[in-house]
Structure 1
Amino acid sequence: MSGEQHPLAIAIKPLLDAVGASAVSLDEIQPNDVTLEWEGKPAVAVRLPGLESALDRLLNEIRRQFGGADLATLDRMDKQRVVALLEERGAFTIRHGVENVAAALGVSRFTVYNYLNRQQAAGKQA
């Protein structure tokens, strides 16, 4: 959105950032945008992200949980925790999920698969 922003757009910005959405002005609305009203009048439109950015949002969320550090700098135990958290959130159902997570962690695909296998084995023993 350009120019002066509506108070609603300002108020929802942290939420939009967290989910990867963006506020767009009313004159830029597209059919899939969601229009939000303020005091009974259209105030701002929200453009939801596509699935292609879902893994990026998950990785950014995990990065925040680990203090904002580059995930590649984490130790092995933390990287295993990252893989477990991403598995819980469905990151590996996204096309090229393993490859992208491996790149973010600075490890090989084989290592990510090993972490997943260990996690599954531990789950079966519990």
Structure 2
Amino acid sequence: MELEAEFTSEPFQGEGEPPAHALKARDAADKAGLTTDFGPLGTTVRGDADALLGALSGIARAAIDGGAIRLTLQLRRTDAPAAAPVELNSALDRLIGEVEREVGGKLAGLDRASKQRAVRILKERGAFTQKKSVATIAEALGVTRFTVYNYLNRETG
């Protein structure tokens, strides 16, 4: 079984280089042989359940030793069923539905590159100007808000 973990370490920094605690946590994940997606608001790692679970204490230790005052972690099975379908009754829901039809499937079932494309399309269509859009889009994608922010940052960074 494969797992995915998303973690953030605080304190956050604004512009510029990532904080040492975030870099050290990322390096610990890389050293454990996990697939790592490092972003400005969080890091996603994927791998075999035993490898990932075995690496979590080292990742947490690296972040804390690097100066983190808080580490937030979310785990999920990559084979877990997608969230309940989004009902198409608001402008945002309609935009999500349009993008799903355009990309040929539910957003939660897409691979990472396709999810990033979907976020780019949603941004171009103004989806992120709506209240609570990031949370709604994250739910439709089957990812956390931090991942959506990471996808958005790739477009501007």
**Distance apart, 1:70 and its partner CA:** 1.6
Partner of 1:77: 113
Aligned residues: 69
Q: Percent identity?
A: 59
Find the residue that maps to 1:107 and give its secondary structure. coil
Counterparts of 1:1-126 in structure 2, within 5 Å, are 53-67=90-104, 69-121=105-157
Q: Which has the higher contact order (CA 8 A, sep 6+)?
A: 2
Deviations 1:56-91 (A, max 9, x none): 110010010011x12101000000000000000110
Distance 1:80 1:70 in 2: 14
In structure 1, give the amino acid aligned to 2:100: R
Q: Tell me which stretches of 4 or more aligned residues in structure 1 moved more than 3 Å.
A: none
**Distance apart, 1:119 and its partner CA:** 0.6
Structure with greater proportional helix content: 1
Runs of 5+ in structure 1 lacking a partner? 1-51, 122-126
Distance 1:60 1:70 in 2: 8
Task: Report the TM-score when normalising by structure 1.
Answer: 0.53
Runs of 5+ in structure 2 lacking a partner? 1-88
User: How much is the aligned-residue C-alpha RMSD, in angstroms?
Assistant: 1.0
